A and B are shown apart, each in its own frame.
Chain A
Amino acid sequence: MKATVLSVEQLTVYRESYAAVQNVSFSLEEGTDMAIVGPNGAGKSTLVQAILGILPRAAGEVTILGQPLSRTGVLAPRLRQQVAYLPQNFLFDRRIPMTVAELVGLGWDRLGMQLPWAGHKQRRDAIQTALDRVDAGHLGHQLISGLSGGETKRVLLAYCLVFPRRLLILDEAPAGLDMRGESEFYQLLYQLKQEQGWAILQISHDLDMVRRHCDRVLCLNRALLCQGIPEATLSPDNLAAAYGSEFVRYRHVH
Chain B
Amino acid sequence: MSIQAEATRVIELFQFPFMQRAVLGGVLTGVMGGMLGSFTILRQLSFFSDALGHSALLGISIGLLLGINPSVVLIPFAVAFALGVTYLLERTRLWTDALLNIIYSSSLAIAVIVLSFVGQYKGGINNLLFGDILAVQELDLVFSGLLLIVCIIFIGLTLRTQMLLTLNEPLAIARGVSVTSHRTAFIVLLSLVVAVSIKSIGVLLISGFVVIPACASRLLSRNFSHYVILSAGLGGISAVVGMIISALFNLPSGPSIVVTQLTIFLAAMIAPRVRG
Whether B168 and A54, one on each chain, are in contact in the complex, defined by CB atoms closer than 8 angstroms, is no
Interface of B is mostly: helix
- Looking at A11-19, A109-117, A173-181, A182-190, the stretch in contact with chain B turns out to be A109-117
Q: Mark interface residues in B220-255 (1 if CB within 8 Å of A CB, else 0).
A: 011111010000000000000000000000000000
Residues of chain A with a CB closer than 8 A to B177's CB: 111
**Tally of A-B residue pairs with Cβ under 8 A?**
91
Whether A114 and B222, one on each chain, are in contact in the complex, defined by CB atoms closer than 8 angstroms, is no
**What's the interface size class on B, roughly?**
20 to 34
Q: Mark interface residues in B148-192 (1 if CB within 8 Å of A CB, else 0).
A: 000000001111110110111011011111000000000000000
Residues of chain B with a CB closer than 8 A to A97's CB: 218, 221-224, 227
Whether B222 and A99, one on each chain, are in contact in the complex, defined by CB atoms closer than 8 angstroms, is yes
Q: How far is the CB of B181 from chain A (nearest CB, A)?
A: 12
Q: A116 vs B168: C-alpha distance in the bound complex, in angstroms?
A: 20
Whether, in the assembled complex, B276 has its beta carbon less than 8 Å from a beta carbon of chain A, the answer is yes
Q: A92 vs B163: C-alpha distance in the bound complex, in angstroms?
A: 12
Q: A169 vs B173: C-alpha distance in the bound complex, in angstroms?
A: 14
- Looking at A83-91, A198-206, A240-248, the stretch in contact with chain B turns out to be A83-91
Whether A85 and B176, one on each chain, are in contact in the complex, defined by CB atoms closer than 8 angstroms, is no
* Chain A residue nearest in CB terms to B179: A54
Q: A6 vs B166: C-alpha distance in the bound complex, in angstroms?
A: 29
The residue that B174 contacts in the complex, of A83, A95, A101, A146, with Cβ under 8 A, is A83
The residue that A95 contacts in the complex, of B161, B176, B218, B225, with Cβ under 8 A, is B218
Q: How far is the CB of B264 from chain A (nearest CB, A)?
A: 17
* Chain A residue nearest in CB terms to B226: A97
Whether B224 and A99, one on each chain, are in contact in the complex, defined by CB atoms closer than 8 angstroms, is yes
Whether A106 and B227, one on each chain, are in contact in the complex, defined by CB atoms closer than 8 angstroms, is no
The residue that B176 contacts in the complex, of A75, A92, A98, with Cβ under 8 A, is A75
Whether A102 and B224, one on each chain, are in contact in the complex, defined by CB atoms closer than 8 angstroms, is yes
Whether, in the assembled complex, A207 has its beta carbon less than 8 Å from a beta carbon of chain B, the answer is no
Residues of chain A with a CB closer than 8 A to B174's CB: 52-54, 80, 83, 85, 87, 169
Whether, in the assembled complex, A142 has its beta carbon less than 8 Å from a beta carbon of chain B, the answer is yes
Q: How far is the CB of A24 from chain B (nearest CB, A)?
A: 19
Q: A77 vs B133: C-alpha distance in the bound complex, in angstroms?
A: 46
Identify 29 residue pairs between A and B in the complex whose beta-carbon atoms are under 8 Å apart, listed by A's number.
A49-B170, A52-B173, A54-B174, A74-B176, A75-B176, A81-B175, A85-B171, A85-B175, A87-B171, A91-B168, A95-B218, A96-B167, A97-B221, A97-B223, A98-B167, A99-B222, A99-B223, A106-B160, A111-B164, A113-B157, A115-B157, A116-B160, A116-B225, A141-B222, A141-B223, A143-B276, A145-B276, A146-B276, A169-B174
**Can you name 10 extra interface pairs (CB under 8 A) apart from A85-B171, A96-B167, A169-B174?**
A93-B42, A96-B42, A96-B224, A98-B163, A106-B163, A106-B167, A113-B158, A114-B157, A142-B276, A143-B276
Sorted nearest first, the 7 A-B pairs with minimum C-beta distance are A143-B276, A85-B174, A80-B176, A109-B160, A113-B157, A116-B159, A99-B223
